[in-house]
Structure 1
Amino acid sequence: MRDNGPMEGCEQYSHATDPSRYAVLHDAADQLLDELTDRFMVERREAKKPLAEGPLVRTVRLIPRSPAAAPLSIAFTEFPSLMMRFGRWYDLSLPQCGCDACDEDPVELIGEMRTQIEALAEGGLWERVHRSVGGSVAQARLIGEEFEASQEIVLSLAESRAARREGFAAAVQWAPWVRRP
């Protein structure tokens, strides 16, 4: 996971007076993970193994029983914030910055988390690798009800080869998660 977590890259004002206001993100993520585990056929794995560099509390992975469905990983950081990975390349950090100037609303961030994870579970994630002048680029697109986002990252030669071996040269639409009976 690319480390684009709290307070990184905020050039205006990098001071966070009360980062504890984001602690509700941890509670909301735990509640959502419980709901998803109850609703869908997924395996839940918890570990202290980090998804990225930085002070992490723990990482939770939901791995759908269907290999055609995209996995979800959520890293809980000490800030407190969340760093999420959907499928292979789609990343989401909440808050994106966390500083006083950005003043991200925790309630809105919880809504954003729920919206994007619901889009993932419904099969709205597309990923592919394509070649460009500067090398290979991984593209990820997440589409949900009244929501659409896309991301691109440049891959190393080894990452590009691995992705192509795993079938990402053509666009891959991850399947919806299978609901529990």
Structure 2
Amino acid sequence: MRDEEYSRCPAPEKYRILAARADAWTQALSRLGLAEVETVTDPAGIWRRGPGVAVSGAVRLHPVRVDAVPLVFGFSAIDEVPGTVLVVGAGEPAVSLEQLPDCGCDACDSGSADLLEVLDDVVVAVVTGEFVHVDAGEGREIVGTGDSWSASNWDASGLPVEEVLAAARAGRSPYRVVRGQAWE
């Protein structure tokens, strides 16, 4: 990679495929009768903590099942091109589970297949009730989506991530937890 590839994104519109996939998920879950769709009027105000990008639009899917949690698609922009960043969240208020792309530069672009796979995995984890979000404060967070997880600011001095996730899934976590049941 050349250094200049780390600072450019000459075609941000290529990431609009993420918004199209979010729309496809929205339509599918609605048509299956699993969720009611809400176009959010205050997209910045639905998050527990801002997702790290300026969200200019959002759709919240309210599951029909009462003990399941809502799925949120927040939309932002790269270089002022709308619909090129997707933030996937869950809960009410929503916690951010994934931001796609995490970097839009040419050097970090591995292609749309990888991004769509991550998006699909997160949506499936929310809909099947396999996701869990643990917030230990001070920016220390863990997101579990089935068998995989990601952690922010989680150091080795604390409990192992797997133990924290197991406690959260069992309802025994001392931290703030967002999780829900399967939508069906």
Task: Name the TM-score, length of structure 1 as normaliser.
Answer: 0.67
Q: Counterpart in 2 of 1:4?
A: none
Superposed displacement of residue 172, structure 1: 6.2
Q: C-alpha deviations, 1:117-147, integer Å up to 9, x for none? A: 012101102244558xxx695543221xxx5
Superposed displacement of residue 101, structure 1: 1.1
Kindly report the root-mean-square deviation, in angstroms, between the aligned alpha carbons of the 2 structures: 3.1
Name structure 1 gaps, 5 residues minimum: 1-11, 155-166
How many residue pairs match? The answer is: 150
Cα pair distance change 1:136/1:78, threshold 3 Å: closer
Q: Counterpart in 2 of 1:77?
A: 76
More helix by share: 2
Aligned pairs (5 A) from 1:165-180: 169=174, 173-178=179-184
Q: Larger relative CO (CA 8 A, sep 6+): 1 or 2?
A: 1
Superposed displacement of residue 110, structure 1: 1.4
Superposed displacement of residue 107, structure 1: 2.6
Q: Counterpart in 2 of 1:108?
A: 114
Q: Counterpart in 1 of 2:35?
A: 42
Name structure 2 gaps, 5 residues minimum: 45-49, 79-83, 155-171
For the residues of structure 2 that align with 1:112 and 1:16, how far apart are their CA atoms? Answer: 21
Cα pair distance change 1:16/1:30, threshold 3 Å: same
Question: SS where residue 108 of structure 2 aligns?
Answer: coil
Q: Counterpart in 2 of 1:123?
A: 129
4+ residue runs of structure 1 moved beyond 3 angstroms? 51-57, 87-90, 127-131, 135-140, 150-154, 167-173
Deviates more, 1:28-37 or 1:168-177: 168-177
